[in-house]
Amino acid sequence: MLIGFNYTLGDTAPLVRKLLAGRHIDYVELLIDNFLAVPIEELMDGFAAPVGFHIMFSKFIENDTPALERLAYRLRELIDRLRPLYVSDHVARFSHEGRQLYHLAEIDYINDYSRVRERVDWWQQALGCQLLLENYPSIMDGGHDAPAFHERLYRDTGAGVLFDASNAVCAHLNCGVPLEAWEGVIESSSHFHTAGYNLSILQPHLILDTHDQALSDATLGFLQRYRTQFDTPHATMTYERDQRFDEHEIVADLQRLRGVFAPPSQGLRS
């Protein structure tokens, strides 16, 4: 299993370089929206390590075609030159009846299926590569429909899942989606996310995908239980952290991940 770290902001470049130098990580996931204007050579020289692309704000389900075509043009250049391990995006709502939402919201997996399928087909064509779509940390009962939605979308479009294990734990804690419901998705996925989560400030308390805490025992237990399904050739696991950059805590989590996916011991020789 290749272990990676997300690079979202310029400020964390020294930390990411330190994690690479210490061999705590093998690659860097770029939140690519933030680096679209960076010269390609500069981006290539940035870390001297493989990269993954995570697209955050394409809003490909609702954005207008000319804007998406311009974005796709730049992304294709970056894909051609940087040869990322994967290209991922989000299936989510960014607005409601013309009003911009503060946080991205979950789609209706049943009623929105046809529209989403059509847009995924189009966006994948525009990017010229397989697209991976991240599962949402559900807070409402509609989350129960997410695993079947992703399996169907994969069958119909070839777009895979960037399976976020801790998002699945959030959905389990918030609305009871069993972790076992994701078995089919995990089996057909090679690229994964994991992160810490936290309680919402407002009541009733929800579990939010905050990327600011150490990995929970529930997440580590989930990874351990399905480690052989996760750990296939060329598989990647990105540890996401966007706040509280506590280096000791981050390194400890990365070492825990290495421990979960360490090759089986050869045993003692006599």
Q: Which residues bind Fe ion (CB under 5 A)?
A: 164, 193
Contact assessment for residue 144 and residue 177, using Cβ atoms and an 8 Å cutoff: yes
Q: In this complex, which beta carbon is closest to Fe ion, that of residue 145 or of residue 164?
A: 164
Q: In this complex, which beta carbon is closest to Fe ion, that of residue 44 or of residue 214?
A: 214
Contact assessment for residue 192 and residue 165, using Cβ atoms and an 8 Å cutoff: yes
Find the shortest distance in angstroms from Cβ 162 to Fe ion. Answer: 7
- Dist. CA 87–CA 227, nearest whole Å: 23
Find the shortest distance in angstroms from Cβ 195 to Fe ion. Answer: 6
Find the shortest distance in angstroms from Cβ 192 to Fe ion. Answer: 9
Find the shortest distance in angstroms from Cβ 242 to Fe ion. Answer: 10
Find the shortest distance in angstroms from Cβ 263 to Fe ion. Answer: 26
Q: In this complex, which beta carbon is closest to Fe ion, that of residue 99 or of residue 103?
A: 103
What's the CA angle centered on 2, arms 232 and 137, to 5 degrees?
80
Q: In this complex, which beta carbon is closest to Fe ion, that of residue 149 or of residue 192?
A: 192
Q: In this complex, which beta carbon is closest to Fe ion, that of residue 59 or of residue 193?
A: 193
Q: In this complex, which beta carbon is closest to Fe ion, that of residue 191 or of residue 193?
A: 193
DSSP per residue over 211-261, as a string? S-SPPPHHHHHHHHHTHHHH--TT-EEEEE--S---HHHHHHHHHHHHHHT
Provide the sign of the torsion angle of the four alpha carbons 242, 244, 246, 250, taken in this order: negative
For residue 162, the 8-state DSSP code is E
Neighbouring-strand partners of residue 193: 164, 238
Q: In this complex, which beta carbon is closest to Fe ion, that of residue 57 or of residue 122?
A: 57
Q: In this complex, which beta carbon is closest to Fe ion, that of residue 122 or of residue 188?
A: 188
Long-range contacts of 17-24 (CB under 8 A, 24+ apart): 17/47, 18/247, 19/250, 19/251, 19/254, 20/47, 20/48, 20/49, 22/251, 24/251, 24/254, 24/255, 24/258
Find the shortest distance in angstroms from Cβ 72 to Fe ion. Answer: 22
Find the shortest distance in angstroms from Cβ 89 to Fe ion. Answer: 12
- Dist. CA 253–CA 49, nearest whole Å: 20
> Which single residue brings its beta carbon nearest to Fe ion?
193
- List Cα–Cα distances, 86 to 19, 47, 90, 150, 242, in angstroms: 21, 17, 14, 17, 20
Entry field: residues in the chain: 270
Find the shortest distance in angstroms from Cβ 143 to Fe ion. Answer: 15
